[in-house]
Structure formats: C-alpha cells, structure tokens
Amino acid sequence: MFTGLPDYPWKSLKPYSDKAAQHQDGAIDLSVGSPIDPTPDSVQQALKKFSNSPGYPSTAGTAEFRKAVVEWFARRRQVPGLDPDQVMPSIGSKELISWLPTFLGIGPGDVVVQPKVAYTAYAVGAALSGATLVSEDDPEKWPANTKLIWINSPGNPDGKVLDVLGFAKAVARARELGALLASDECYAELGWSAPWDTQVIPSVLDPRVCGDSHEGILCLYSLSKQSNMAGYRAAFAVGSKDLIRDLVNLRMHTGMIMPFPTQQAVIAALGDSAHVATEKAIYSKRRETLLAAVTAYGFEVTDSEAGLYLWATKGQDCWSTVDEMAQLGIVVVPGSFYGEHATKHVRFSLTATDSDISRAAFRLQNGLG
Ligand SMILES: Cc1ncc(COP(=O)(O)O)c(C=O)c1O
C-alpha cells in the first residue's frame, strides 16, 4: 500500500464542525466547494436519454463530445480553431490532476511546480509520482529541473485571475524549461470583479497567450462547478495532439473512461449557456450577501475576483479564525490546507443554499454566539 499521503485534511476540521453543530440554530457548512443547486434539466434529460449503454465507451470521447468541447472553447473562451484530436474527457478533473505527473513519467529528482496558495490535488500528484513539489508563482523562480507546472486561474482557494500577460509569461518560461504547463481553469465562467465581470477570463489556450501552438500546454476544465455536475464526474482536457494521443493511450490501458451517458450529458451542458448564466446570477447574490457580512465582521477579503470562494483574513492564525467561526456555528476551511503561505486566511464557500448564506451573514453581522 502506498503510504506517502497524509490523512485527508478535511478530517482535522471535525472538532470544529462538532463545535459549530452546538450552535442553537445548528451548523452552517461553508467549508466544502460542492455545488448544491440542481443539475440543469437539459443535462438530466441527456443522461436519461442515453442511459441504455451496453457497450464500452470511447476513452478519447465520441466525435460529438470532442466537437462540443471545440465549439465551446470557440464560443465561450476565445479559443478558436481547436482540432477535435486535441480533446480528451476525464472523469472529473481531480483524477487527471492527481495522476498526471505519474502518467508523464515524472519521478524522483524532477520538480512539479504549483501556485504558492494551491488546490490540494497538485501536491497529491507530485507525492504519488515521487517528484519534488515547489510552490512558486514567479515563473523566473521555477527551477531548471521542473517537468510540470500547475497554474490555476481563477484560483482555488484565493479566486485570483491571471491576465493574458501573466499567462504568456508562464508559457514562455515553461517552454524555456521544456516543462509541461498545465492550466486548471474550472471557475472561468464565474468572474465577479472588474474587468472579469464583463471580460472573458483568459485560457492558456488563447492565441494571445500561446501564439499558434499548443505544444507543451494542457488545459483542464470541469463542469462540476458551472453546471452543478460534480456528481457526474464530467471534465475534459485539451492540449497538443501528441500529448492527448499518449494520454488517451494510457487511459485506454487503465480503463479511465468517461461513461457514455456522461459524455452525452457533457454535450448537453456545453450546448446550453443559459443555465450557466442563471447559476452565475444565483452565486452573485450569495456572494454579495456573504461579502458584506464577512467584511462587516472585520475580515479583509483578498483576491476573490472570480470563483466560488471568499478568501479572507483577520490577520491572525487561520485555526483561531476557524475556531471563532465555529463558535458562530459556521464551518470554514483554514488556509493552511492550501500550503504554508496561506496560514492567516480562511476560505468561505458560496456553495450553500440562499437560506444558509443569509443565516451565516446574519450571525456574522450580529456576532451572535
Ligand atoms: C481548482 C480545482 N481544480 C479541480 C477541481 C476538481 O474538480 P472535479 O470535480 O472535476 O474533480 C476542483 C474542485 O474543487 C478545483 O477547485
């Protein structure tokens, strides 16, 4: 058994969720980023319609699946002209993130880079492969033996967005190092602060970022958040044809195949932008309510320009803040889960019902114990 991974960090929140549960009106869990609104009807209908699925699905994705992804990138992400052979489904993004270093043959002596404040799966992937993990945002400081670089825009947990110039610097440095640049972009349709409330959040595949070549680049996208499809495990990756061909080959051997009904559900989701706008409007209200309350309580909210979280600090150790929030019956995530550079922040998630967000806001605004 591989024992190189620590216990799942969320377990250490248990004493605080227990404490929150003692609140007279019960606990409000703002710790997990798991969507709670219904999966769009169009998506549910597609899943039902294609539920008769006796044969093995295509690991590479059906032609229709890959075409839907290509069209979505052109329509929603300012990435025209992708070749369907550049597209591959993944069973949610997390499995691909966690296994990518191993798939790439990265191992001891190699470096995997992640953001200074980072979603936890990048470190898991580095650990599984035996590579050294470096948390560094400045491309100039990425070490010479770097083989894989993760960037995440909009970021989880901090909601930071990379602009075209920021992306372009990352691409240039990755190419100089001969490393693969993997960009995790699943919150890209959820921009809040100017200019991202009106402008498209850039993708690493944007020609303004990477020119006319996708060599050495991989973009990951998931429908878990924007389409409330976390339960479907619906995501995809886009990169150079060579890389995708090799990844598909590995995934065929190992049976890492998106089920056919899910592929059909993804096609339905990508073809229906109305539900994305509706869901964004719902989150926008929740965000406004919670942002006002968190600020009134005395937090400084940093970054949080896009995505599903408020990244906030009271200038004290994150665990003290987690405890303070638990006394109000609110469960939040300590920044330390996201690395050593984030120990004074906590993360509030917007993935709670309108009623829970309002109740949390009320408790914060009144400082009720
Ligand atoms: C930055 C980031 N990448 C990837 C994922 C994983 O998404 P999926 O549900 O597709 O595995 C998440 C989920 O929280 C995330 O925040």
**Given pLDDT bands bounded at 50, 70 and 90, which one contains residue 369?**
very low
The pLDDT of residue 339 is above 60? yes
Angle at 201 between CA 196 and CA 206, to 5 degrees: 150
Any idea where the domains of the chain sit in the sequence? 9-38+275-366, 41-271
Which residues are CB-neighbours of 170 under 8 A, at least 6 positions away?
A: 139, 149, 151, 162, 181, 204
- pLDDT at site 368: 55
Ligand 1 atom having least distance to the Cα of 119: 1
156 lines ligand 1 (CB under 6 A): yes
Q: Which residues of 312-336 are buried (b: 16+ CB within 10 A; e: fewer)?
A: bbbeeebeebbebbbbbbbbbbbbb
Tell me the average pLDDT of the chain. Answer: 97
Q: For a substitution probing ligand 1, which of 8, 36, 94, 262 has the most ligand atoms within 8 Å of its CB? A: 94
98 lines ligand 1 (CB under 6 A): no
- pLDDT at site 166: 98
Give the count of beta carbons closer than 10 Å to the beta carbon of residue 118: 26
Helix axes 94-103, 121-129, angle to 10 degrees: 30
The pLDDT of residue 147 is above 80? yes
186 lines ligand 1 (CB under 6 A): yes
Sheet architecture: strand order including 345-349? 300-302, 309-313, 345-349, 333-334
90 lines ligand 1 (CB under 6 A): no
Paired sense of beta strands 345-349 and 333-334, if any: antiparallel
Query: Could you say which DSSP state residue 306 is in?
Result: B
> What is the rounded CA–CA span in Å between residue 231 and residue 329?
27
Ligand 1 atom having least distance to the Cα of 230: 9
Interval 152-178 mean pLDDT? 98
Interval 343-365 mean pLDDT? 98
CB 179 within 8 A of CB 216: yes
Q: For a substitution probing ligand 1, which of 186, 220, 236, 256 has the most ligand atoms within 8 Å of its CB? A: 186
- Quick check: do 9-38+275-366 and 41-271 share a fold? no
294 lines ligand 1 (CB under 6 A): no
Phi, psi of 218, rounded to the nearest 5 degrees: -135, 130
> What is the rounded CA–CA span in Å between residue 31 and residue 328?
14
235 lines ligand 1 (CB under 6 A): yes
Q: What six digits make up the tokens of 316?
A: 């004290």
The pLDDT of residue 3 is above 80? no
> What is the rounded CA–CA span in Å between residue 255 and residue 264?
19
Helices (H), the chain: 14-21, 41-49, 63-76, 94-103, 121-129, 164-177, 207-210, 241-254, 260-270, 274-297, 318-327, 354-366
- CA proximity to 265, closest of 217, 316, 230: 230
Q: Which helix (DSSP H) or strand (DSSP E) does residue 152 occupy?
A: strand 146-152
Q: What six digits make up the tokens of 340?
A: 């050593």
Mapping DSSP to helix (H, G, I), strand (E, B) and coil, where does residue 126 land? helix
- pLDDT at site 9: 86
How far, in Å, is the centroid of ligand 1 from the Cα of 222? 7
> What is the rounded CA–CA span in Å between residue 331 and residue 301?
17
Lowest mean pLDDT among 129-133, 138-142, 223-227, 364-368: 364-368
Angle at 242 between CA 237 and CA 245, to 5 degrees: 65
More confident residue, 10 or 324: 324
153 lines ligand 1 (CB under 6 A): no
The verdict on whether omega for the bond into residue 157 sits within 30 degrees of 0, i.e. cis, is: yes
- pLDDT at site 4: 83
Interval 38-52 mean pLDDT? 98
Amino acid at 110: D
Q: What six digits make up the tokens of 158?
A: 């901090």
Mapping DSSP to helix (H, G, I), strand (E, B) and coil, where does residue 46 land? helix
Q: Quick one: CATH architecture of 41-271?
A: 3-Layer(aba) Sandwich (3.40)
The pLDDT of residue 12 is above 60? yes
- CA proximity to 243, closest of 187, 184, 185, 179: 179
**Given pLDDT bands bounded at 50, 70 and 90, which one contains residue 8?**
confident
Interval 172-197 mean pLDDT? 98
Q: What's the pTM value of the predicted model, to 2 decimals?
A: 0.97
Rg, C-alpha atoms of the chain: 20
- CA proximity to 190, closest of 232, 216, 159, 150: 159
CATH fold for domain 9-38+275-366? Aspartate Aminotransferase, domain 1 (3.90.1150)
**Model pLDDT for residues 56-108, shown as the tens digit of each residue:** 999 999 999 999 999 999 999 999 999 999 999 999 999 999 999 999 999 99
Nearest CA to ligand 1 atom 3: 184
Distance of CA 193 to the CA centre of its chain: 18
More confident residue, 4 or 190: 190
